[in-house]
Each structure stands twice: as C-alpha cells, then as structure tokens.
Structure 1
Amino acid sequence: MTARETLLDQDGVQLTVADAVATVTLTNPAKRNAQSPALWRALTEAGRLLPGTVRVVVLRGEGKSFSAGLDRQAFTPEGFDGEPSFLDLARGSDEALDAEIATYQEAFTWWRRNDVVSIAAVQGHAIGAGFQLALACDLRVCADDAQFAMKETSLGLVPDLGGTQPLVSLVGYARALEICATGRFVGADEAERTGLANLVVPLAELSAATDDLTAALLAAPRDAVVETKALLRGAAGRTYDEQRVAERAAQGRRLRDLAGLGE
C-alpha cells in the first residue's frame, strides 16, 4: 500500500488518499462536526480533487458524533465571518437565494457518481445536514450508538441538501414523511431494519467493519462495479423493459471488454 497523501485540510474537512481509497474526514469534534457554508465548499472541493484512481470514498467524522447538523450560528444576525447570514439571504431575491442553496447542495451530490462507491461510517448523532450527508453516500455502516434525525421541519424548514430522494428510496414515502415531519430520532437498530443502514456494529468495530466493506468492494473489477452501479441508480427511472435494454447494453460492453474488443 502506498503512503496516505493529504490532498485537502481546511474548514473542518480533510481529504486523504491511499491507493484506490479516499477518506473524507469531518475534523471539528469540539462542535460535533457542525456544518457551515465553508465546510460545504470544502466538501465540494474534496470531490473535485479525487484522483481518477480512487474507487471507494469513506466519509467519517472525528469524535463522538458523525455530524450534529448545521451550525446554528447560520441563523444569527451576524452569521459566520465573511458569509452572508441565512437571514440576509432570505431578504434577497428568489434567484439569489436559489443560487446560494444550489451551491450548498453541490457538497452533497458528488458522492453518488458512478465511478466511485461512497461509504458513510456513522457514529453518534447524524442530525439534519448530518443525516443528509450520510444519505448522500451509497452505503452506510453504523455504530450501535448511531442516532439519525431530520430536524429541519421542526425548525420550520425543509431538508434541502439532497436528502429527501434517497430517504424515500430507502425507507418508503410514509416512513420518510413520518421521520421528517416529527423530527424524531431513528436509532441504529431501526436504521438497519428499515434499510437506512447496511450494517450496524459495536462502536469499537466501526473502523474495522468499514475497512472490511471497502476491501470487499475493491475485490471486483472496477468497470464491472461502475456499470452495475449505473444500472442500479437508473433502475427507478426506467420501465422493466427499459431496464432490460440497459442491462443488455452494459453486459455487451463488459463482454467486449473481457474479450479484448473494447474501445
């Protein structure tokens, strides 16, 4: 294994790469990895900096909590240093507000791109934006103390960082509505039972379990995993017959590649 290289370390986000594995770490445990626009920009930059050799991206948070969600300072009149407060944004034009939220969402969108598989290793609290960041990943390995909650609705807001679609996809509309509308906590056992968590392990085993899953994902040929991920991600938007066509096309590419006939 090559030495781990640090490609980014700013605004509460660290990106390191070793061989085909990248690790994105939230590095502000004193604030339970609370999120801010600066952190979101750093997460977006981490996605841009991923080398093409990376196949698996692991997302983790330092300390007792994965991420306690948005830093409440965003709702104070002063906001963050050098940033418009959310209250100021609300007073601006619809176009400016929409553009700013779209910028925030970029931090949550690249995790599902087809050329990588992303894993969130979740311990402690994953609240609001923290919950949505875990949902942004393809897979979730959770410690047995994990607690998810979508608190936005309780604060008079909505989940707006890309979390609603994967939540509905994982647990269904009725349960997703109940989780969001009540803002209640979803523990690790329920998360595993309902499909939010792929695996739940004791806290002391979280790192090892994530490493084991990473190794299993790396065992298959990269192009086969990329094609399979693309097929599965597109399945919900296709009819059964359209999906069969997509499967045939993907398998044709794989067979030609294995026969040495690929482009």
Structure 2
Amino acid sequence: MSTDDLETDGWVRTSREGAVLTVTLDRADQLNAQTPATWSALAAVGASLDDDVRVVVLRGEGRSFSAGLDRSMFSPEPSTNGGLGELGHLPAEEAQERIRGYQGGFRWLRSPGIVSVAAVQGHAIGAGAQLALACDLRVFADDAQLRLPEATLGLVPDLTGTSTLMELVGYSRAMEICLTGRAVTAAEAQAVGLANAVVPRAELDAAVADLVAAITAAPAAASRATAALVRSAVRNDFAAQDAAERAAQVERLHELAGGR
C-alpha cells in the first residue's frame, strides 16, 4: 500500500511503500525553492518516522532538485516570513535559535535507523545543495549541478552544509567549493565522492530504486548497526571505533544465537 500526504505550506509531499518513505519537494514551477515552511514540513516528516522505515528517498519534482531559497527570503526588509531581513533585525540569540529550528529540517536525514538517499537532477543550489548533502547517499542525474554560493552573497552556509561537505570531500576541497561558490558538475561530484552514482536523467528514478533495493535486501538490524558504525567512524578515533565494532558485532552474534 502507498499513502500520500501533502504539506501545503511547505510544498513537501510524502509517499510510503513498505520500509521506504519518499519525500518530494513539490514546487516544480519555482524549481522547488525553499522557505522556512519547507524546513518545518521536513522536520515534521522526520519527527513522524516509525521503526519500520528503513530508507528515506528525498527528491525534487520537475527539472531541478532545488534551486535554494525562495526569492522572497532575500528581502533586506524585516518581515514575518522568516527571511534574511527578519533574521537580521532579531537579537542574536533569537536569530540563532530560529536558524537552529531551520537546521532541524536537515539533520533528521541522518537519524539512527534510516538511510537517506537524495535523487538529484538539475540545480541543487544553496539550501538545495545542503539538503542533498544532508543525506547519507546521493545519486546524480548527468545534468545535476551543486553550488554553495552563500559566501559570494555575503552570507555563510548555515543549514548543516559545512560539516556534511567536509565529511564527503575533505578540508581543502570543501573550503574551495564554499568560498568560490562555483558549480560542481555531476561528473566532478562522482569523482570527488559527492555522488555515489551518476546516470542519465531518464534513468535517475530506476537507479535510485536499484540502490534502495540493495540497501533493504540486508537484514534490518544488521543494516542499521552497520550504518551506525559508518557514521560514528567519521569522528571516533581508532580505539573508540574498534570498541564500537566489537560491541555491535557481539550484539549481532547474540541475536543470531538466540538472544544469549
């Protein structure tokens, strides 16, 4: 069975097929431009996950994944839409707390128990790039381009993008991509580890489906434990990671042996 839901204000649509939840940015006429309502809708999806969801596929409707912030967000005038003008007029602590809430729409994509996969076509710019980077895995169409232009606009990437980019491509390349704001093509993305695969645009959905099928073919408990180990390896030293592997393996062995 498949269920569908539409978060009208945030242009976020979800559908569920067994253990796979698909989250679609559904604002194709605006290249899936994002607003704070989008991030609230995404955070709500993350909060609603149940234990049976193993994979979350994040995609954008139409010809682009997401072209970033909605243009209305760039107004320098204070408003009530959560845009840059409003944030610039708030006290620092209040503005930071507001952004922390926005970041919640991104961080849940690394939640324990799930693996997230971004299907990226066309533009992934700014907030769109950071949303793709927030996922565990990325499949790019051959027309995809990823950009983080915030520094060139007098801003910084603030939707979790600096840490996730650094994990993927390393210090010097992340620094260069962020400071120049240049476009990273699909071919380069695959070469530097941003994209797990690059396929013709017409084959994107099929390639993502194949990847999801491979992930869900493994037993759920072993898959989740392995994903947790890979995530912890990013920050653990060798001793801590070795200990984490030992503990996880013994837990797996005990379960296989009948719960001893």
TM range (shorter): over 0.9
Match of 2:258 in 1: 260
Match of 1:136 in 2: 134
Within-5 A mapping of 1:17-166: 17-76=16-75, 82-166=80-164
Question: How far apart are 1:259 and its partner, in Å?
Answer: 0.9
Question: How far apart are 1:226 and its partner, in Å?
Answer: 0.9
In structure 2, stretches of 5+ residues that fail to align are: none
Corresponding residue pairs, total? 259
Question: Is the 8 Å Cα contact of residues 56 and 118 (structure 1) preserved in structure 2?
Answer: yes
Question: Is the 8 Å Cα contact of residues 75 and 87 (structure 1) preserved in structure 2?
Answer: yes
Q: 2:221 is matched with which residue: 220, 223, 238?
A: 223
Question: How far apart are 1:86 and its partner, in Å?
Answer: 2.1
Question: Is the 8 Å Cα contact of residues 12 and 26 (structure 1) preserved in structure 2?
Answer: yes
The DSSP-based 3-state class of the residue aligned with 1:196 is coil
Cα distance in 2 for partners of 1:133, 1:104 equals 11
Question: Is the 8 Å Cα contact of residues 36 and 82 (structure 2) preserved in structure 1?
Answer: no
Question: Is the 8 Å Cα contact of residues 78 and 89 (structure 2) preserved in structure 1?
Answer: no
Question: How far apart are 1:66 and its partner, in Å?
Answer: 0.2
Question: How far apart are 1:92 and its partner, in Å?
Answer: 1.5
1:215-240 residue CA offsets vs partner (Å, 9 max, x unmatched)? 00000011111111111111122221
Question: How far apart are 1:87 and its partner, in Å?
Answer: 1.2
Q: Alignment identity in percent?
A: 54
Cα distance in 2 for partners of 1:9, 1:83 equals 17
Cα distance in 1 for partners of 2:6, 2:251 equals 36
2:40 is the alignment partner of 1:5: no
Match of 2:205 in 1: 207
The DSSP-based 3-state class of the residue aligned with 2:116 is strand
One-letter amino acid of the counterpart of residue 170, structure 1: L
Cα distance in 2 for partners of 1:183, 1:215 equals 35
Question: How far apart are 1:16 and its partner, in Å?
Answer: 1.1
One-letter amino acid of the counterpart of residue 155, structure 2: L
Question: Is the 8 Å Cα contact of residues 5 and 15 (structure 2) preserved in structure 1?
Answer: yes
Question: Is the 8 Å Cα contact of residues 7 and 49 (structure 1) preserved in structure 2?
Answer: no
Change beyond 3 A, Cα 1:85–1:199: closer
The DSSP-based 3-state class of the residue aligned with 2:4 is strand
Cα distance in 2 for partners of 1:117, 1:84 equals 30
Cα distance in 1 for partners of 2:247, 2:226 equals 12
Question: Is the 8 Å Cα contact of residues 225 and 248 (structure 2) preserved in structure 1?
Answer: yes
In structure 1, stretches of 5+ residues that fail to align are: none
The DSSP-based 3-state class of the residue aligned with 1:109 is helix
TM-score, normalised to structure 1, is 0.95
- The answer to which of 234-243 and 116-125 deviates more is 234-243
Runs of 4+ in 1 over 4 A off after TM superposition: 77-80
